Amino acid sequence: MDYLQITKSPSLKGNVTISGAKNSALPILAATLLSQNEVHISNLPDVVDVKTLAKLLEHLGANIAWENPNTLICEAKQIIHTKAIYDIVRKMRASILVLGPLLARFGYCEVSLPGGCAIGARPVDLHIKAMEKMGANIQIKGGYIIAQAKNGLKGADILFDKITVTGSENVIMAAALAHGKTRIINAAKEPEVVQLCEILQESGVKIEGIGTNELTIEGSGGELLDFKPIRIIPDRIEAGTYLCAGAITNSSITLENIQPTHLAAITDKLEEIGFSFNKSTDSLTILPSAKLKSFEVITTEYPGFPTDMQAQFMALATQCEGASVIEERLFENRFMHVSELQRLGADIYLKGNLAKVVGPTPLIGADVMATDLRASSALIIAALVSEGVTNIHRIYHLDRGYESIEHKLRGLGVNITRLSR
């Protein structure tokens, strides 16, 4: 199995180009199921999750031609299956994103129920309830969501009890092809949700309220859509992760191909810690700070501080002066990285969904295990300032969402090697 070996790399410099957003690429790939034309998608991140969703689409009968590792053409007119099988869904929960489009288009589908995951129970009850509200009959049998809507889905008022990103995306895609008007109240407004709405709007679907918590979508009544070429937005979480690498080493590095407004919650927090930035329209340079102050963070929905950056900021907190407090509000079990950071010497106290991190603490390299995608990147960040050598195991998590991570880090001066044992 592959692992990453990182030797303390106390000072970084240079530029890093940020890839396309995984969490935008996934719903957009699922949305190609609503199209009648060949869809050209560029700036896709070359990561395992994207390849998994492409495989799922191929399994359903779509034709996918890769122009290069970041660009594909998808033709989904001739879909032959409507069953998203366990073997693919178990690899990636986001496969649930085919539920809305398949059901809206074919009036029938079976999607393997995604199981639990490392960061908590993560149910899909809100996705299911919304589809039922749109007229679907849903049964859970043999581990599958079996959904039926004989006369197609009907527009409805959907009120989400909790803001859900992929839940909102599933309803948005279903509503685009449904009969009549759908109103989504308490919709997610992450930039990735906004991009999905925009590409549907460009294909002719009437959508009001894009970027707000209330969306109104006029369905096409079953008629397939015509998508324009799509360029995936930059990955704000990948960008935030590199910013944390720059911050923990108190270095100046430049991020290219970013959307600074999407990073506001992250850069605001880094400013609170003491860093400053040179910003342009699509790049950002983090500048060193005289002192790293402790901070408080509460994870919440966009535009608040993202849960997907919680682990990386926890690594950073180990080098800040004083006690930082991190509250995880979205996922009940997203502190698996704590015990691994403690193996490096971090001083962290956990109580429920609160973590107190006392710093600055000298960290010492050790063997550590990645437990989920973002936890893996937190371990890399901590390894940069850990004395000696850190070996990070189970890095398949990392490959799910970070394109060319060793290459990019090496370009910034990190001493990193991928090894196998």
* Least separation in angstroms between CB 163 and ligand UD1: 6
393 bridge partner residues: 369
Residue 320 among the catalytic residues: no
Encoded one letter per residue, x for contact with ligand UD1 by CB under 6 A and - for no contact, window 331-370 reads: x---------------------------------------
The answer to whether 383 and 6 are in contact (CB under 8 A) is: yes
Torsion, Cα of 125, 397, 367, 410 (10° steps)? -140
For ligand UD1, the closer of residues 94 and 258 by Cβ is 94
Q: Decide: is 30 part of the binding site for ligand UD1 (CB under 6 A).
A: no
How many angstroms separate the CA atoms of 239 and 257, rounded?
A: 9
355 bridge partner residues: 326, 350
Determine if the peptide bond prior to 362 is cis (ω within 30°). no
The answer to whether 124 and 100 are in contact (CB under 8 A) is: no
Q: Decide: is 308 part of the binding site for ligand UD1 (CB under 6 A).
A: yes
Instruction: List % helix, strand, coil for the chain (3-state, nearest 5).
Output: 35, 30, 35
Q: Within 10 A of 339 (CB to CB), how many other CB atoms are there?
A: 14
Q: Decide: is 115 part of the binding site for ligand UD1 (CB under 6 A).
A: no
Q: Decide: is 312 part of the binding site for ligand UD1 (CB under 6 A).
A: no
Q: Decide: is 265 part of the binding site for ligand UD1 (CB under 6 A).
A: no
- What are the residues whose beta carbons fall under 8 Å from the beta carbon of 387, sequence distance 6 or more? 8, 362, 363, 364, 365
Q: Decide: is 117 part of the binding site for ligand UD1 (CB under 6 A).
A: no
Q: Decide: is 127 part of the binding site for ligand UD1 (CB under 6 A).
A: yes
How many angstroms separate the CA atoms of 1 and 45, rounded?
A: 23
* Least separation in angstroms between CB 165 and ligand UD1: 4
* Least separation in angstroms between CB 306 and ligand UD1: 6
Q: Which of 307, 371, 377, 390 binds ligand UD1 (CB under 6 A)?
A: 307
Q: Which amino acid is at 15?
A: N
The answer to whether 346 and 318 are in contact (CB under 8 A) is: yes
Point out which span in 75-83, 101-109, 122-130, 218-226 binds ligand UD1 (CB under 6 A): 122-130
Q: Which of 94, 131, 210, 273 binds ligand UD1 (CB under 6 A)?
A: 94
* Least separation in angstroms between CB 217 and ligand UD1: 18
For ligand UD1, the closer of residues 30 and 363 by Cβ is 30
Largest Cα–Cα distance in the chain?
65
CA distance between the termini of the chain: 6
Point out which span in 70-78, 119-127, 205-213, 340-348 binds ligand UD1 (CB under 6 A): 119-127
Q: Decide: is 23 part of the binding site for ligand UD1 (CB under 6 A).
A: yes
- Radius of gyration (C-alpha) of the chain in whole angstroms: 21
Q: Which two tokens stand for residue 87?
A: 């073997």
For ligand UD1, the closer of residues 110 and 301 by Cβ is 301
Q: Decide: is 125 part of the binding site for ligand UD1 (CB under 6 A).
A: yes
| Catalytic site positions | 117
Residues in the site for ligand UD1, rule: CB under 6 A? 23, 26, 94, 120, 122-127, 162, 164-167, 192, 307-308, 330-331
